[in-house]
Amino acid sequence: MKILRQGTLAAALVAGTLAGGAALAAESDGTAWSDIRGSLFGDTAMKDDGLIAIEAPYRAEDAAIVPVTIRTDVPQGDPRHVAKITLVIDENPAPVAATFTLGEGANVTAIATRVRINAYTPVHVVAELSDGSLHVAETYVKASGGCAAPMAKDQDVADANIGKMKMRWFGRPLTDIDATPDPIHATAQLMIRHPNNSGLQMDQVTRFYIPAHFVSNVTIRQGNALVLTMEGGISISEDPNFRFAFVSNGEPLVVEATDTEGNDFGQTFPVPGS
């Protein structure tokens, strides 16, 4: 019971932070999403118009590492940009998996990560545009037990490697940035070694619950320009990784991360070919 109360408290804290003081929706249809939506966004209307999309397996192979991809599609010529993306796993103990704040000039069009799914659930993603409008997409995932699933690695080994990072690049080399007038579209994947303990996992030897300990914030910049920030919770899988498509300005990617125990991690990654 103590662990469940901690999970509920975590959800409330995350929701309160993200909602920015928004009032609860006036009415609820009894679903988890209705209550979560009200606590995060109040009565603000949402459009399901294809501006944002979410991809996830209908039946996950492993509930502890379910791949999720978010894509945005702001029409060409539209002066607005996506300012924030909120990923919600409705039936998880802490439903808000992550909130991404996007840099205006980075033009992030896709984000992929891996999440824990605790029970059969709808998964929602909400994009907030620069004009304040909200756009939503939904999918459904059949998986269960992901938040309480044992770690894939030994806890001591995981703790010894906390904070180690790698960056993987996809597509053509980002060379001759200044030689072309067109934007350089790039895709990179940040990988962080961290147990990301959910607080719901049991130590198989001691039979005690492992305290929650996870990466709570990540900031990625190219030079001084923001690419994205991530505010995360217990639903992000062990060894968090984030693959993102963006427009490169040729500057190195600077990563800063913090976990719930106050540990700070950071690394700079030069663009390929520089």
Output the CA–CA distances (angstroms, integers) from residue 252 to 58, 71, 105, 182, in the order listed. Answer: 37, 24, 15, 19
Output the CA–CA distances (angstroms, integers) from residue 107 to 188, 206, 271, in the order listed. Answer: 14, 47, 17
Distance from C-alpha of 141 to C-alpha of 154, rounded to nearest angstrom: 28
Sign for the pseudo-dihedral over CA of 86, 7, 235, 210 = positive
pLDDT at 274: 54
Q: What is the pLDDT of residues 228-252, one digit of tens each?
A: 999 999 999 999 999 999 999 889 9
pLDDT at 6: 38
Strands 241-248 and 110-115: antiparallel
- pLDDT for 26 beyond 50: no
pTM for the whole thing?
0.86
Q: Would you place residue 140 in the very low, low, confident or very high pLDDT band (cuts 50, 70, 90)? A: very high
Which of 188, 266, 191 has the alpha carbon at shortest distance from 236? 191
- pLDDT for 7 beyond 50: no
The average confidence (pLDDT) of the chain is: 88
pLDDT at 172: 59
Distance from C-alpha of 235 to C-alpha of 245, rounded to nearest angstrom: 22
